[in-house]
Structures are given as C-alpha cells and as structure tokens.
Structure 1
Amino acid sequence: MMMTKVSILPRLARRLFLCGLASIAAATFAADRPNVVIIYGDDVGFGDIGVNGSKMIPTPNIDRLANGGINFTDGHCSAATCTPSRFSLLTGIHAFRYGARVLPPNAPLIVPTDKLTLPKLFKRAGYHTSVIGKWHLGLGEEGVKTDWNGQVKPGPLELGFDYSFLLPSTNDRVPCVYLRNYEVVNLNPNDPIYVGNTLKDVQIPGSTQYPDGKTNREAMTYYQSTHGHNHSVVNGIGRIGYMSGGKSALWNEETIADVFVEETKQYLAAMAVKDEPFFLYFASQDIHVPRAPHPRFQGATELGFRGDAMVAFDWAVGEIMNSLEEHGMAENTIVIFSSDNGPVYDDGYEDDTTVLCSAEEEDRGHDGSGVYRGGKYQIYEGGTRVPFIVRWPARIKPATSEALVSQIDLMASFAEIIGEDLADDEGIDSRSTLSAFLGEDEKGQEFLVEESFGLAIRKGNWKYIEPSNPKWWYDRDPIPESLYNLEKDPSEQNNVLAQYPELAAEMKAALEKLKDGAGFRESF
C-alpha cells in the first residue's frame, strides 16, 4: 500500500521542536510526544465567546485558553450540522462521501470500522485514547436492532477508543441514559430499555412507560417543545423518538455537564500516573437543546437558557484546564477548542431563548454568529465558521490568526506531530496544516469545503456556493448559485457571481473535481 508523507519538517528538526531541547542526544521523541485534548462544543457559534466579540455571555475560561494559544478567526468545522462534522473530525473524510446526515435514535454506527480514525492514528503511536460526552455517530450494526440491555456495539471501541463514556445520541433524543463502553450505566435488568420510532414499538409489558408528548402535552413540565421533540417525555422534557424502561439509568438534564467533567477529571488523574501519552475527545452536550443548565448557572445571562448553558460550558472548559494544570500536564498537552456547527436558537424547545431566523433579527443584542450570516443547517459562514483555538504551551506562542483552517485537517496535522504516515486511502480529505496550527503560517489552506444541504468552496476570501434546495423547518427559499468576496462582504449579502463569471467557473470546477475525485489530498 502506498504511503503518503505528511511531514513538513525533517524528523530530526521535528524532535527538536517538540522536545524544546538544544540537543536530542539524551532524549527520545516518543517520550515527549504531546497529549492531545479536543474540547468540542455543540451548536456554539463563532460569536458566542468573549475573544470573538461576545459581550453578553461571560466566557473567562475559554478566553484564557485563547489568550494562551492561537485563536483562529477563520477556523471551520466541515459541516453545518453535527453528525457530518463529527464524522469528518474523526475520519479526515468529508461526510458527504458516505451520505452522513443527522442521525435518528437507534441509528447504527455510520463510521466504517475499517477506516482510520483519530483514535486509531494515536493508538498506532502508543497513545491511550478516550471519548467522553455526546456521540451521535450511531451505535450497533446496520440491519440489527440495538440491544440496549446487553452489549451495545459496535461503537467507539471499534473505532479505536480504549475507553468511552457516552451520551449515546444527543440530549434531545432517546435513549436518555449514559453508556460506559458497551453497557448502559445503572441499568436495572428488571426494567429493560426499548427504543423505537413509534409508541407501539416500546409498549412492552414490564418496562417503565413514559408519556407521549403528542397526546399528553401536560407531561412536558420542564418546558414545552415542538419540531418533533414531542415523542417520549422523559424528565418532563419531550424527545425525538420513543423509549420505555431504564428508569434507574436515566440521566438528570441539569447535571450532565457535572457528570462529564467528573469523568474527565478521573480520566486525567489516571493518565497522570501512566507512562504513556493520551488522546481525549471531550464532546460536550452544551449548548444543544434541550438546554437545562444546572440551577447554579441559571440566570447567569440575560439570554435565557442558551446563554446560561454557554456559561456552564465555559465552566467545564475551566475545570478541564485546571485538572491538566493540577497534574502537571498542561505544558505538553495540545488543547483544541471548537464546535460542531454554528448557532441555533429555538430548535424545538420553548426555553426562553429568542428565535433568530435571519440576519435582520436580534437576540437581545447577542448574535451567536457574530458578523457572519446564518448558523446551524446553513451553508453561509455562520454555519461552519466556529470558535477554533489551539493551545500548546511547550510549542505555540499566543497569537490571533486569520489562517484558513478546518477540523478535517487535524488528522494529517496530528500525524505530522506524532511521526506517523497516512496511507493513500486514509484520511483522504485531510491535509496537514501543522505550520498554521503552530502559528508559523498565516495563510492556511488554499481551498476549503463547507457542507450543509449543499456544498460551498472557499479559496482565500472568495466563496462559491452551489445551488441547493434545503428542506427544513424554517422553510427557507432555495439557495442560488452564489459567489461572495468575504474580505469586502463578510456577511454574504452581495452575490457577485455575475461580475466574476470566470472565477465562479474555476471554483465550481474545483468543487466538482473534489466531489468526483478520490479525496482532497489527491485532488489538490
């Protein structure tokens, strides 16, 4: 099998950079490889953090992280929805190649187990790997009904993680339980869990029955919900999908952040005494709906539960950073903070968050997308331009960078750092952007793809959007073929396709080449 070198520095020089030594005579590169922690927010927009302009949501811990590393102002997730972005982050492959969309409850694992993933890459280099938090990439086999009362697999462990502690899907979908490795936490075998698409699917004698939000809206006591979040009502909140059973295993909405943080602290404490580097993927459920921040955070902002949940997420970031410092691991740990897509406001729950459906409306003075147009589900910049911070005290000097970077390129960049090579069929859309991530390149990638219901391609400050017809509950008009100059028009208000037909044709051709080709590394 052909191997693709992703190195941009000679191996010897790279050791010098990583170890920070004048000589490598007595040093071993492997012993000084950095730990890696990815802190992944959910629906966190570019403008939801202080360093990117937020005035109404205090985020001192995230700001401290940014001020100690590089804050990328043109950093992107690969897609404007969560499942595709998570797929691309972990595989280095654009999700549209596998038709990956937002998954329903009980969906099977959508990441092929024979593909290289970030945890598999790190395991090659002797790392311990762990995932804590929201999953939403499916669990179980295609065509086989998932048995929530037995071994729930395949899942993260088959993708290279040594340990997993999950919210299996999302917090607005059933089942509303935690999963540690293959088993539901605190499950009573006398109250088995069933998950289905209809109420009839889960009306199994002997299992706890939950109200149907469609026929019993009074059961939604936490707050009311719409947009299909009105199936099984669990903990007074309507969900997508139906479940029965598992009462002893149910999570408490208001303590999910605390549970994930405590799991993370225990993991970091354990790794502090191990003689091996680690990779931790911490995927928060905040600030995804249903937002139910712990009471100690409620009222922390004037923006309802969405703003309060962001304060809770900032607290979680601070706790993780404090734990790394407590165990003496902060100096040689790469911490990456980002989000799976841009912001969304109501998204189905009446949680005192003002609906924001267009750039003309305001959310009490706060716009989670900042100056950028759109948000979650949308092909405009607000859909994929998200917070993107890289901190590595042993190697990176604090800075703000305008380099064009994407989460999909983390795989090739990490391969560069840990001295691994990618085969031609591994991480096919991932290109090393290590020099930008280290603050040594102010440009980043020449081309970058953004995905929603259609695709867009960036070339520097130019953006071409292919025509598409998104079907979603905000009932948007079809997206026309568009070309924007983001340097002059960052809010994408002036379509200049007619003025620059040759440039539009060039970018369209580049996008088609990527779609039809074997991957970004080969195409460009």
Structure 2
Amino acid sequence: MISIGEVKITDKNASAHRFGDGMRLLILLLALGPFISAWAKPNIVIFYLDDMGWAQPGAYGGKLAPTPNMDSLVANGVRFTNGYSSACVCSPGRVGLMTGRYQSRTGHDANVGREGRELLLSEVTMAQHLKPAGYTTGIVGKWHLGDTSPQFMPQARGFDFAMGTVGNLGEGEGPTFYRDNELLPELDGAPITSPIYAKEACGFIESNKDKPFFLYLSFNAVHTPHVASQKWLDKFQDLDRRTGAYAALIAEADEAIGTVMTKLRELALEENTLIFCISDNGGAAAQAEQMGLRGSKWFVWEGGIRVTWIAQWKGTIPGNRVVNDPVIQLDVLPTALAAAGAEKPKVELDGVNLLPLLEGQEEKLAPRELYFRFGVQHAVRQGDWKLVKASQAMEPMLVNLAQDPGEQNDLSAAHPEKKAELTTLFDKWNATMQSPRWEDKRWNGEPRRQGEKKKRKNKKADAE
C-alpha cells in the first residue's frame, strides 16, 4: 500500500491508475496518428524549367542573369554536375519525369500536338503513385503530355489541382491554357506566366498546408516567346534586345521560385519539403549558357541532354554539396516515392532512389548506363564514356567526358573495344523499347525552317 498524505492507494489501485494512464496515452496517440503520419511524409515540390541552359544558374557558373533563389537551393542542398534529362526536347522528357521510365518504352520520342501522340493511358504518373500514399497533388504550368480529350489531361492523370498551358505558348491552333479539365483560349497576364504560376502555386500550398502535398511547378520559361515583366526588362536594358529579354525571362522565373520558397518558409514547411529544380532539356536559345558543351536542344550531344539538376531537403539532406555522379530525371519519381513511404510501383522503373546518396548514407551510386534516344539519334553513357550519334548520317562517336566534356575528340580508333561494348549495350537496350510512334524530321539535325523550306520546295517541284 502507498500512502500519500491523507490519501491511501493500494497496489491494486495504483496498477489501475497506471493502466488508465496508459490507455489514455494510447487513445491520444491513435487520435493524433493521422497528423503524426502526415507530418512524417514530406511535401514534394518540383521546379521544372523549360529549355534552360545547363550552366544558366549562378551556382553553375551562369553570368547573364542573377538567380539567387536557384542558388539558394544549391546552398541548402545538392548540385549535380552530371544531371541529365532522358530527352533533348520537351514532351519526351516530361514523360520520363512523370513516369520514372524511359519515354522510349512507349515510343514517345518526339513532341505531342495531335491525336495519337499523348502519354499512353497505360503509363502511371507520379501524381497517381502519390495519391494512394495520402498526397494532395497539383500541377501549375506546362503539361505537354496530351490535351486531345479529357482523359489525357492532368486531372485524369492523378492531379487534384491543375492549371497552366497545354503545351508551348503560342503554338498550335487550339486553346493554349487549361484550368481543371477546361481548355481556355486566354489567361489573364499571359504570355508572361512565371508570376501567375507563382501565385497559383502559393495558393495551392496555402490550401494544403496541413497535409502532405505534391506540387509540380512546370514553367514556360525559358522557352520562347522570350517575354518578361517590364521591371525585369528594365534591369537588362543595357543588353541588346534579344539578350535582355532572355535574361529578364530567367530572372523572373527565378523570382517565381523565390516566391514559392518564401511561402514554404512562412508556413514553416521548408524543412519538411523535398525539392527538385531541373530543366527539361538543354538550352535552346543562342543566349543559353552552356559552358562549352556541344550542341543544344534537339541533339543528344551534351548540350541537349545535360541539365541543371538540384535537390534540397533542408535538415535532411546536407547542404552545399556538389555531386559528380551522373543522375537523370527518371530518378525523381523513385526518390519521391521512397521519401513519401509510398508502395513500390508494380511497373518497372528505370530511375533509382537517390535518397541514400542525398542523405550521405552512400558516397556514390552503383554503376549504371544512361540511355538516350531521339528518333535516329541516340547515345549511351557509361561512367566517363559516351557513345553518341547525333544525326542520321553520322557514324557513332566515342568520347571520354572527363577528358573532353565538349565532345570534340573521337576515340573510336583508339578504343574500338569500348565502342563495341557501348554499341552492344545500346542495341540490347533499344531492342526492349518500342519504336517511335511518330516521326519528327527535326531529329535528323535539320533546322525546322530549313526542313520546312525543303518540304515546300519538294511540293512545288511535284506540282510542276
């Protein structure tokens, strides 16, 4: 028996009290369970830039326009020097990002724009993977995976909230914009979309601050048209008109990233948010900063497939790190699913979970090959070696990227065995892929206008 002042409690009563306290604690934990579970799941944000040069951000050496917000992500996270997109043009790269699978698995080698070129309904998007794990999902910005019917639009592909452009600004004959499943001919403020997207993204975050969310912020910048708010154009008025417009476009997109990051900080969500900042392919404009990489968008040279690649998860990923291991946008989905504690997908993924590398548990990724196919063009990277064929008539070229990042020296004659090995690897991989479902004549390296001019000339000759 225990005596406390005038109160006498028997051992039996004490046991009952302890049991009651334990039950109350258990009930409390069960009640708080969903909230604890929700907080344990990080929010996931992807900033996806369009046509931005590999070295455009200041943290990559860019000088044209200040990018303090992208640079801040680097300071608080990881900058990959060998980050890739599996495609050198817009839509195929987005297939890879959204599915974690090579776009060549479904023959989606080129851009969409008409019926039959959509992301196949058999493919499962990141949003569709994350929803069963308890995530609210949102896309703000460029979709570019099909808009010929509602079943191909974002809300049918797993996104709870959806607004932006169906493809590129000013391209195509139909409506350019969408909200939910409705196609819209106009959007107030367009074609300057970065500040619009920042506002919409912040609204989505505010509405879902108390539960885990996935936000895919897919910029139109820095794709054409190169347009920006006057305040940003004024900051670059000393440059020629085209360069100034391009610089302003970059700076305004970076400002939009900063606006979203400020919202996360105001809501005390930054430390519980896994963030990626990636470009969909290499630089397209003459003003794009590529730091000597060969080629550009439309080519499987490094200039077309090597991209800005940044990851931040403040407090979980050690900051201010530079990683040289090759990574690819296909890795985002498995990494996000691992962070979310989502079920392992039933479909085969081509990307890998980067969390052990990002968190510092592993120093390097396991060796692997990265494959690229753009119609008649193809490439394969293995370690520092790369086999590249950048046009239909070109004999595949072997380069060592550690010694020759500009891909100027063909080492085929000096290392025939390595060329044969990479050729066999690509052929074996390609045999498991689907042939391109449609043709884009630009993948032979011809400029679009030149190709169109030849087409018109041939039609005229036929008529004559």
TM-score by length of 1: 0.71
Q: Percent identity?
A: 29
| Among 275, 278, 303, the residue aligned to 1:335 | 275
Partner of 1:487: 402
In structure 1, the residue corresponding to 2:193 is in which secondary structure? Answer: helix
Structure 1 partner of 2:383: 460
- The structure with the largest helix share of the pair is 2
Give matches, 1:302-451, under 5 Å.
302=239, 303-345=243-285, 356=286, 363=287, 368-398=289-319, 399-424=321-346, 426-444=347-365, 445-451=367-373
Of the three residues 264, 288, 295, the one matched with 2:223 is: 288
Q: Report the AA paired with residue 317 of structure 1.
A: I
- C-alpha change, 1:268 and 1:105, in structure 2 (3 Å) is same
Q: CA deviation at 1:139?
A: 1.1
* 2:44 and 2:336 in contact (8 A); partners too: no
Q: CA offsets per residue over residues 123-180 of structure 1, 9 Å max, x none?
A: 1211011100011111134xxxxxxxxxx44311121111110211111313454311
- Residues 1:90 and 1:54: Cα distance change in structure 2 (over 3 Å): same
1:160 aligned residue: 158
Q: What CA deviation, in whole Å up to 9, does each residue of 1:167-217 have, x standing for no partner?
A: 1111131345431111135xxxxxxxxxxxxxxxxxxxxxxxxxxxxxxxx
In structure 2, what is the Cα distance between the partners aligned to 1:182 and 1:27? 31
Paired residue secondary structure (2:108): coil
Distance 1:34 1:457, change over 3 A: same
2:227/2:249 contact within 8 Å kept:
yes
Q: Secondary structure at the match of 1:114?
A: coil
| 1:123 corresponds to | 131
Structure 1 residues 420 and 267: CA distance shift in structure 2, 3 A: closer
Greater CA radius of gyration, 1 or 2?
A: 2
CA shift in 2, pair 1:466/1:414, >3 Å? same
Q: In the alignment, what sits opposite 1:91?
A: 99
Q: Which one of 188, 195, 204 corresponds to residue 267 of structure 1?
A: 204
Cross-structure match for 1:509: 424
Q: Quick one: distance in 2 between partners of 1:102 and 1:376?
A: 12
Partner of residue 42 from structure 2, selected from 31, 34, 37: 34
Q: Shift of residue 107 of structure 1?
A: 4.4
Residue 498 of structure 1, CA deviation: 1.2
Once the 2 structures are TM-superposed, how far is the Cα of residue 450 of structure 1 from its aligned partner?
Answer: 2.8
Write the letter of the residue equivalent to 2:169.
N
On the 8 A contact 1:401/1:439 being kept in 2, the answer is: no
CA contact (8 A) 1:178 1:251 kept: no
* Aligned AA (1:82): C
Give, as a single letter, the amino acid of the residue that structure 1 aligns with 2:344.
L
* 1:254 CA drift (Å): 4.7
Task: Give secondary structure in 1 for the equivalent of 2:379.
Answer: strand
Give the gaps of 5 or more residues in structure 2.
1-32, 435-464
Alpha-carbon separation, structure 2, partners of 1:463 and 1:378: 14
Q: Which residue of 1 aligns with 2:182?
A: 183
TM-score normalised over the length of structure 2: 0.79
Alpha-carbon distance, 1:76 to partner: 0.9
Kindly report the root-mean-square deviation, in angstroms, between the aligned alpha carbons of the 2 structures.
2.3
